Structure 1
Amino acid sequence: MSLHVRRREPRAHWLLLGLFMLVLLGGLCLDGYVSHAGAEGDGPDPTTDTSGPAPEAVTGAGPVLRIDPDGTVTSRSMPRRTIALTFDDGPDPQWTPRILEVLARYGAHATFFQVGSQVNAHPELARRVVAEGHEIGSHTFSHAWLAGTPAWRRGLELTLTRNAVAAATGNTPVLMRPPYSAEPDAVTAADYTALRQAAGAGHLVVLTDLDTEDWRRPGVDAIVANAQPAKDRGAVVMLHDSGGDRAQTVAALDVLIPRLQARGYRFTTVSAALDLPPAARAPAGERMRGHALRWAQAGGAWLSRALTVLMVAALVLSAVRLAVQLACARVHVRRVGRRAREPLRYLGPVSVVVPAYNESANIAATVRSLLASDYPRVEVIVVDDGSTDGTADIVERMRLPGVRVVRQANAGKPAALNTGIAHARGDILVLVDGDTVFEPDAVGRLVQPLRDPDVGAVSGNTKVANRRGLLGRWQHLEYVIGFNLDRRMFDVLRCMPTVPGAIGAFRRAAVVDVGGVSSETLAEDTDFTMALIRAGWRVVYAPDAVAWTEAPASLKQLWRQRYRWCYGTMQAMWKHRRALAEPGAAGRLGRRGLTYLLLFQVALPLCACMVDVYALYGLLFLPPVKVAAVWTGFTLLQMAIAGYALRLDRERYGPLWSLPFQQVVYRQLMYLVVIQSTVMALAGGRLRWHRMVRIGAVAGPSQVPTRR
Structure 2
Amino acid sequence: MTVRSREPRGHWVLLLLGAFALAVLFLLDGFARGAVGEAPHREPVRPAPAPPEVTGGGPVVTLADGTPRGLRMPPRTIALTFDDGPDPEWTPRLLDVLRRRDAHATFFAIGAHIAQHPALTRRVLREGHDIGSHTYTHVDMAAAPAWRDRLELDLTQRALAGAAGVHTRLMRMPYSSRPDGLTEAEWRAAERAGEDGYVIVLADRDTEDWARPGTAEIVRSALAAGRRGEGAVVMLHDSGGDRTQTVAAVEQIIDRLRPMGYRFTTLTQALGLPPAQVAVPVHERAAGWALVTAQRAAATLTGTLGALFALAGILCTARLVMLLIFAHVHMRRARGHPGRVRGHPRRARGAPVLPGVPGYDGLPPDPFPPVSVIVPAYNEEAGIAATVRSLAATDYPGTVEVIVVDDGSTDRTAAIVEALRLPGVRLIRKPNGGKPSALNAGAAAARAEILVLVDGDTVFRHDTIRHLVAPMSDPRVGAVSGNAKVANRGGLLGRWQHIEYVIGFNLDRRMFDVLRCMPTVPGAVGAFRRAALARVGGVPEETLAEDTDLTMAICRTGLRVVYEEKALAWTEAPSSLRQLWRQRYRWCYGTMQAMWKHRRAVVERGGSGRLGRRGLVYLTVFHVLTPLLAPAIDLFALYGLVFLDPAGPLLMWAAFTAAQTAAGAYALWLDGEPIRPLWALPFQQIVYRQLLYLVVVQSVVTAVLGVGLRWQTIRRTGTFGDVPDVPAAR
* Contact residue 548 and residue 698 of structure 1 kept, 8 A: no
Provide the rounded CA distance (Å) in 2 between the counterparts of 1:174 and 1:46.
Answer: 28
Aligned residue among 427, 444, 458 for 2:466: 444
CA 1:284–1:51: 2 relative to 1, 3 Å = farther
1:71-82 equivalences in 2 (<5 Å): 72-82=67-77
1:70-109 aligned at under 5 Å gives the runs 72-109=67-104
Partner of 1:407: helix, strand, or coil? strand
| Mean Cα deviation higher: 421-430 or 219-228 | 219-228
Pair 1:47–1:661, CA change in 2 (3 A): same
Deviation at 1:153, TM superposition (A): 2.9
1-structure distance, mates of 2:294, 2:578: 38
What residue is the counterpart of 1:113 in the other structure?
A: 108
Compared with structure 1, are the counterparts of its residues 476 and 327 closer, same or farther at alpha carbon in structure 2 (3 Å cutoff)? same
Structure 2 residues without counterparts, runs of 5 or longer:
343-365, 724-730
Paired residue type of 1:302: T
1:692 aligns with 2:690: no
In the aligned structure 1, how far is the partner of 2:238 from the partner of 2:444? 83
Residues of 1 paired with 2:518 and 2:84: CA distance?
59
Number of the residue aligned with 2:274: 277
1:358 aligns with 2:379: yes
Per the alignment, residue 319 of structure 2 pairs with 321
Aligned to 1:45: 41
Match of 1:148 in 2: 143
Q: State how 1:47-66 maps to structure 2 within 5 Å.
A: 47=43, 51-66=47-62
Q: Give 1:282 shift.
A: 2.2
Query: In structure 1, what is the Cα distance between the partners aligned to 2:340 and 2:711?
Result: 42
Q: 1:428-452 deviations in whole A, cap 9, x for unaligned? A: 1111000001111111111111111
| Normalised TM-score (structure 2) | 0.91
Q: What is the aligned partner in structure 1 of residue 241 from structure 2? A: 244
Q: Is the 8 A contact 2:340 2:471 kept in 1?
A: no
Query: What does residue range 591-630 of structure 1 map to in structure 2 within 5 Å?
Result: 591-630=613-652
Match of 2:185? 190
Contact 1:549 1:698 in 2 (8 A): no
Partners of 1:402 and 1:329 in 2: how far apart?
A: 37
Deviation at 1:515, TM superposition (A): 2.0
Amino acid at match of 1:276: L
Give, as a single letter, the amino acid of the residue that structure 2 aligns with 1:233.
E
What is residue 174 of structure 2 aligned with on the other side?
179
* Secondary structure, counterpart of 1:86 in structure 2: strand
Q: 2:205 aligns with which of 210, 216, 228?
A: 210
**1:221-620 to 2 correspondences below 5 Å:** 221-228=216-223, 229-231=225-227, 232-279=229-276, 280-340=278-338, 346-376=367-397, 377-620=399-642
Change (3 A) 1:491 1:7: same
Partner of 1:136: 131
Deviation at 1:106, TM superposition (A): 4.0
Q: 1-side partners of 2:695 and 2:84: how far apart?
A: 47
> How far does residue 267 in structure 1 lie from its aligned partner after superposition?
2.5
Matched residue of 2:402: which SS?
strand
Contact 1:432 1:504 in 2 (8 A): yes
Distance in 2 separating the partners of 1:46 and 1:519: 70
Secondary structure class of the residue paired with 1:506: strand
Deviations 1:200-244 (A, max 9, x none): 432111111111122222233322221122213322111122223
Pair 251,9 (structure 1): closer, same or farther in 2 beyond 3 Å: closer
Q: Which one-letter code corresponds to 2:234 in the other structure? A: V
- Contact 1:46 1:148 survives alignment (8 Å): no
CA contact (8 A) 1:12 1:676 kept: no
Shift of 1:5: 8.3
Aligned pairs, number: 695
Structure 1 counterpart of 2:17 = 19
**Equivalent position of 2:663 in the other structure:** 641
Q: Which moved more, 1:213-222 or 1:431-440?
A: 213-222
Letter aligned with residue 334 of structure 1: R
TM-score between the two structures when normalised by the length of structure 1: 0.93
User: What letter is aligned with 1:198?
Assistant: A
1:559 Cα deviation after fit: 0.7
- Matching residue's letter, 1:313: L
More displaced stretch, 257-266 vs 626-635: 257-266
Could you say what secondary structure the match of 2:574 adopts?
coil
For 2:383 and 2:375, the matched residues in 1 are separated by: 12
Deviations 1:283-319 (A, max 9, x none): 3222222222222222122222322232233233323
Distance in 1 (CA, whole Å) between partners of 2:506 and 2:49 is: 69
1:582, CA displacement in angstroms? Answer: 1.7
CA distance in 2, matches of 1:77, 1:128: 28
Structure 1: where are the runs of 5+ without partners? Answer: 702-708
Paired residue type of 1:286:
E
Q: Which moved more, 1:388-397 or 1:420-429?
A: 420-429
Contact 1:49 1:190 in 2 (8 A): no
Q: Which amino acid aligns with 2:653?
A: W
Deviations 1:440-489 (A, max 9, x none): 11111111111111111100000011111111111111101110000000
Contact 1:210 1:226 (8 Å CA) reproduced = yes
Deviations 1:566-601 (A, max 9, x none): 111111111111111221111111111111111111
Deviation at 1:48, TM superposition (A): 5.3
Separation in 1 of the partners of 2:289 and 2:535?
65
2:157 aligned with 1:162: yes
- Structure 1 Cα separation of the partners of residues 589 and 341 of structure 2: 41
For residues 375-397 of structure 1, the C-alpha deviation after alignment (integer angstroms, 9 at most, x for no partner) is: 12322111111111111101111
Question: Where do 4+ consecutive residues of structure 1 move more than 4 Å?
Answer: 48-51, 67-70, 341-346
1:30 Cα offset (Å):
2.5
Paired residues of 1:69 and 1:196 also in contact (CA < 8 A):
no
What SS is found at the alignment partner of 1:233?
A: coil
User: AA paired with 2:376?
Assistant: P
Tell me how far apart the structure 2 counterparts of residues 366 and 507 of structure 1 sit (CA, whole Å).
Answer: 22
Larger mean CA deviation between 488-497 and 121-130 belongs to: 121-130
One-letter amino acid matched to 1:632: A
Equivalent position of 2:699 in the other structure: 677
CA displacement at 1:555 relative to structure 2: 0.8
Cα distance in 2, alignment partners of residues 450 and 460 from structure 1 = 13
- Deviations 1:329-367 (CA, angstroms, capped at 9, x unpaired): 111101122333669994122211111011000011111
Partner Cα distance (2:191, 2:655) in 1: 47
CA deviation after TM superposition for structure 1 residue 119, in Å: 2.1
How far apart, in 2, do the equivalents of 1:577 and 1:412 lie?
A: 25
Distance 1:8 1:102, change over 3 A: closer
Percent of aligned pairs sharing the same letter: 59
Conserved? CA contact 2:387–2:457, under 8 Å: yes
Counterpart residue type for residue 285 of structure 1: H
- How far residue 418 of structure 1 moved from its aligned partner, in angstroms, is 1.1
Alpha carbons 1:5, 1:688 under 8 Å: kept: no
Alpha carbons of 1:201 and 1:451: their partners in 2 closer, same or farther (altered >3 Å)?
A: farther
Question: Does the Cα contact within 8 Å between 2:367 and 2:473 map onto a contact in 1?
Answer: no
Which amino acid counterpart does residue 87 of structure 2 have in structure 1? Answer: D
User: Alpha-carbon deviation of 1:77?
Assistant: 1.9
Aligned 8 A contact 2:79 2:267 in 1: yes
CA contact (8 A) 1:116 1:165 kept: yes
Partner SS state of residue 568, structure 1: helix
- Which amino acid in 2 is paired with 1:261? R
SS of the equivalent of 1:222 reads helix
Compared CA separation, residues 299 and 342, structure 1 to 2 (3 A)? closer
> Mean alpha-carbon deviation: is it higher for 502-511 or for 85-94?
85-94
